[in-house]
Amino acid sequence: MDININIAINNVKKYSEQSRLLQFRNCRILRDHEIITEDFWVRNGKIVDPEKVFFDENVSADVQIDCKGALISPGFIDLQINGGFGVDFSNNTEDVENGLLKVAKGLLAHGVTAFCPTVVTSPRDVLPFLKKRAGGSHGSAILGAHLEGPFINVSKKGAHPADYILNLSEGFKSVVDAYGSVDNARIVTLAPEMENASQVIKELTDRGITVSLGHSMADLHEGENGVHHGATFITHLFNAMPPFHHRDPGLVGLLASDCEHQVYYGIIADGIHTHPAALRIAHRTHPDGLVLVTDAISALGLEEGTHQLGQKAIEVRGGRAMLAESDTLCGSIATMCQCVQFFMKAVSCSIVTALEAVTLHPAQAIGIQHKKGTLQFGSDADFVLLGDGLNVWSTWIAGECVYQDTTCPQPSLFK
């Protein structure tokens, strides 16, 4: 690496850690559903209103940073990711802490500043280790676990182990018995047609946990009943649920249902798991609820070739993860940046629409939009600098530069 680039990177990191007030210039900003040309101000890990600084404090920036024309977007948020870089959250009980750190660190290169580590139907010893944690140079923030099961319909279990699937016969007690505690949970996916599901949905919602409907055989009425009791999300739309039918659209019908509150839905836009036409249908039906998720597995970030992951031999070839010596897909290995790029092209939407599907919408889906997923004043200074193709130039958490792609233009200090 060129020594001047090294110096510039180190200087930006130093100032972002130590300075009271940073001013990012020569940039565009995604704010209030549009891209504007305006300077961007950060202090003490928060986004600040420069007018208040000028008029109330009568001070100027301590440091001015040249962004070289980059687009500043809120950091990406992934609400469903099963692992990556050789780590599987559901089968890594012997070294959970290091596994989480490895994934959290690896995601920085792809613009992800916060995520929900997702565990499929599993024994109860997994959840206590998936603790919430602030982001920083060590990696993306952990928002809490996404518990994808075990309270799902066995007819739509997908890759979930049938032996661990449970019912809700004892209501919320069944949930506590399954995981011991839900203190580290942010999202719980369950099938709304299960006995006592309505009671459990309300209890989880009252505790501030987002309930997502999925891995289900529910008809539209059962789905609407789940929403009525507090569910606000749908897990990987079109996958692990009955296909749309004109007389009973099932959970897919919630996109056009007259629900009392907003319903969001996760969708995988990797060019493999969801056809571009299906992406267009979902987006045109309910654009404000669309949340891009990677649903990535442990093969994310691994080189092409054969890898032993848990009990399975997986072959990564042509951008796909297959069971070794077969043509059977075994999960997504797309990065969030790739999903954004593919989605924008597939649905012919604006940059703003594509970026809000990985920033504002996921934040809204779990109720953290007042501090993440946005560049509003007072929000956490978690953001990414993007090039014209939406490739990640650098990633910032709490106003600190935590990742730089050194092949891209580097932010530098104004002279």
Catalytic machinery residues: 295
330 in a labelled binding site:
yes
Answer whether 115's CB lies under 8 Å from 79's CB: yes
134 in a labelled binding site:
no
Q: Which amino acid is at 183?
A: D
168 in a labelled binding site:
no
Q: Which residue in 49, 75, 60 sits closest to 381, CA to CA?
A: 75
Residue 391 vs residues 34, 102, 335, 339: alpha-carbon distances, Å: 19, 22, 11, 11
236 in a labelled binding site:
yes
111 in a labelled binding site:
no
240 in a labelled binding site:
yes
Q: Where are the beta strands (DSSP E) in 8-129?
A: 22-25, 28-31, 34-37, 40-43, 46-47, 63-66, 71-74, 76-81, 83-84, 87-88, 112-120
45 in a labelled binding site:
no
Answer whether 76's CB lies under 8 Å from 82's CB: no
* Omega before residue 161 within 30° of 0, cis: no
Q: Which residue in 243, 226, 249, 241 sits closest to 158, CA to CA?
A: 241
Q: Which residue in 111, 116, 121, 118 sits closest to 79, CA to CA?
A: 116
246 in a labelled binding site:
no
256 in a labelled binding site:
no
The DSSP call for residue 404 is E
228 in a labelled binding site:
no
339 in a labelled binding site:
no
Q: Where are the beta strands (DSSP E) in 82-169?
A: 83-84, 87-88, 112-120, 141-142, 145-148
How far is residue 22's CA from residue 24's CA, in Å, rounded to a whole number?
Answer: 6
Residues of the binding site for Zn(2+): 148, 215, 236
Residues of the binding site for substrate: 159, 239-240, 247, 273, 329-331
Residues of the binding site: 148, 159, 215, 236, 239-240, 247, 273, 329-331
